[in-house]
Amino acid sequence: MAIHRRRVIAAGVFLGMVFMLPTGHSWYEESREQRAGRELLRDACGGVLPEREARAILGGGPLKGSSDSVRGEEGLGRKDEPLEAGCLIVRKKPEKAYGFEDASIGVSLHGTRAPGGGEDGERERPDDPYPAFYPDAPVPLPGGWTGFLSARDAPYEDRGTAAVFLDCAGDRRDLLVTVSVRVGDTGLGDPAHRIRIGRLATATARNAAQQWGCEARFGERPRTVPLPVAEDVPLGEADGTCEGVPARGRTFARAWESDRGGAPQEVCSVGNSGGTPLYSLRAFYGPYATSARVALGKRYSFEKTIPGRTPSGTLPDGGLWATAACPAPFAGETALFTIEPLGREREKSTRGEQAYERAALKAFAEASAEHHGCSAPRLP
């Protein structure tokens, strides 16, 4: 009987071990994936991606990623080759063998173009790190940062882009950190999601500054981040990017604007009382002004006078541009202000429209330049 009992106990222990094997195997795989994820986040983008903020967006689950080669490992670059680094981190749903990733983070880090680069400094590149034109009005990152959040809506995704610009002390190039985030089911309408993007961008900027020797002024950890949607208000009541832009009857009676803050890009749209935007006014500072000149130069390469290359002028498709000299953090870059008609192609502005364009650009450029501490704009 004792021998029989020992056999029963041994069989029970064996069966228990058999039933426990799948659980143990699952735990081992999960632990291995967690370690691999931590290593991936630790090494991504030259080691400056903050794990806590990245995981707040990516969540749990397996990760995969890739990193661009880092150029300028010894600093932001004092010679011809500025810092360039980037990475992409993706989380896929375990049950998905095909289809779209569940969440992704793309980061690019750049030592800015050398101030006053001229033709060489304004050379166009396919992967321009300073995209000048976003479909939605960018909103400034709060807390004293020089940066903004913008959105790009596309099928099957809602992508948020946050950029942080750091003015580095001394003779080093400045530092630009751009973070692009996509989460399948979470849009920018969720305030918590916007905060997570803002915190990821600002924490990455802090780490990158330490990594590459950029002594700069930092802002505070974001507690709120506005929604990057232009607010529709009566033009006379505008107190953001459209403040001071004149109205003209019912033709120019509405404004679509956002706060100014420290954003290196500003957008103001004006339109009629029926809710149709008719003009877009934009301000570009620092490297974004350089990028805007490149984009305008490409668009009007067949013209004798390239918009933005002279202090002020008239756009071939209607509209105007103006410029201003600015102090830090945009010292060495000439700010650019434009007003362009919407929904028109190769139509010259009438005298009445030209008069309004000048008045609107003057008010917009002067208010924006004053806000950023720049000189009085040179107007057409």
| Within-domain flag for 102 | yes
Instruction: Report which of 221, 128, 125 is spatially closest to residue 176, judged by C-alpha positions.
Output: 128
| Within-domain flag for 172 | yes
Residue corresponding to tokens 């609107």:
360
Query: For 275, what's the count of Cα atoms within 13 Å in the CB-facing half-sphere?
Result: 2
Asked whether residue 205 falls in the same domain as residue 238, the answer is: no
- Please name every residue paired with 339 in a beta bridge, in sequence order, or none if there are none: 281, 320
Asked whether residue 244 falls in the same domain as residue 313, the answer is: yes
| Within-domain flag for 33 | no
Q: Which of 182, 211, 240 is the last residue of a domain?
A: 211
- Please name every residue paired with 374 in a beta bridge, in sequence order, or none if there are none: none
For 28, counting Cβ atoms within 10 Å of its Cβ (0-12 exposed, 13-18 middle, 19+ buried), the class is exposed
Q: Enter the tokens of residue 238.
A: 């505008």
| Within-domain flag for 8 | no
Asked whether residue 196 falls in the same domain as residue 251, the answer is: no
The domain tally of the chain equals 2
State residue 353 phi and psi, 5-degree precision.
-65, -40
Query: Which residues, other chains included, contact 78 with Cβ-Cβ below 8 Å and sequence gap of 6+?
Result: 171, 172, 173
Answer yes or no: is pLDDT of 13 > 80.
no
Instruction: For residues 316-339, give the mean pLDDT.
Output: 90
Tell me the C-alpha distance between 16 and 21, whole Å.
9
Asked whether residue 157 falls in the same domain as residue 270, the answer is: no
Per-residue model confidence (pLDDT) at position 312:
94
Q: Enter the tokens of residue 100.
A: 């779209």
Instruction: Report which of 286, 192, 187 is spatially closest to residue 229, judged by C-alpha positions.
Output: 187
Residue corresponding to tokens 């917009």:
364
Asked whether residue 133 falls in the same domain as residue 257, the answer is: no
Asked whether residue 119 falls in the same domain as residue 255, the answer is: no
Tell me the C-alpha distance between 137 and 255, whole Å.
12
Asked whether residue 264 falls in the same domain as residue 175, the answer is: no
Query: Which residues, other chains included, contact 274 with Cβ-Cβ below 8 Å and sequence gap of 6+?
Result: none
Per-residue model confidence (pLDDT) at position 133:
53
pLDDT band at 17 (very low <50, low <70, confident <90, very high): very low
- What is the percent of the chain where pLDDT is above 70? 74
Q: Which of 162, 179, 211 is the last residue of a domain?
A: 211
Q: Which of 211, 242, 274 is the last residue of a domain?
A: 211
Q: Which residue has the higher pLDDT, 182 or 77?
A: 182
Query: What does pTM read for this prediction?
Result: 0.80
Asked whether residue 83 falls in the same domain as residue 142, the answer is: yes
Range of 77-91, 136-150, 350-364 with top mean pLDDT: 350-364
Answer yes or no: is pLDDT of 108 > 80.
yes
Per-residue model confidence (pLDDT) at position 26:
53
Tell me the C-alpha distance between 8 and 113, whole Å.
77
For the beta carbon of residue 42, count every other beta carbon within 10 angstroms: 10
Asked whether residue 264 falls in the same domain as residue 156, the answer is: no
Asked whether residue 259 falls in the same domain as residue 159, the answer is: no
| Within-domain flag for 367 | yes
pLDDT band at 10 (very low <50, low <70, confident <90, very high): very low
Asked whether residue 205 falls in the same domain as residue 62, the answer is: yes
| Within-domain flag for 16 | no
Angle at 373 between CA 371 and CA 378, to 5 degrees: 95
| Within-domain flag for 362 | yes
- What is the percent of the chain where pLDDT is above 90? 37
Which stretch of 32-46, 118-132, 151-165, 176-190 has the lowest confidence by average pLDDT? Answer: 118-132
Asked whether residue 183 falls in the same domain as residue 253, the answer is: no
Q: Enter the tokens of residue 117.
A: 């680069």
Q: Which residue has the higher pLDDT, 349 or 11?
A: 349
Answer yes or no: is pLDDT of 74 > 60.
no
Instruction: For residues 341-348, give the mean pLDDT.
Output: 76
Range of the domain at 327: 231-371
SS3 64: strand
Instruction: For residues 135-160, give the mean pLDDT.
Output: 76
DSSP H or E run through 149: strand 147-154
Alpha-carbon distance values, 84 to 37, 70, 108, 331 (Å)? 24, 6, 8, 21
Residue corresponding to tokens 């806590």:
52
Per-residue model confidence (pLDDT) at position 82:
73
Which string of b and e fits 320-347 if b means at least 16 CB within 10 Å? bbbbbbbeebbebbbbbbbbbbeeeeee
| Within-domain flag for 168 | yes
Average pLDDT, the chain: 79
Residue corresponding to tokens 């050398």:
114
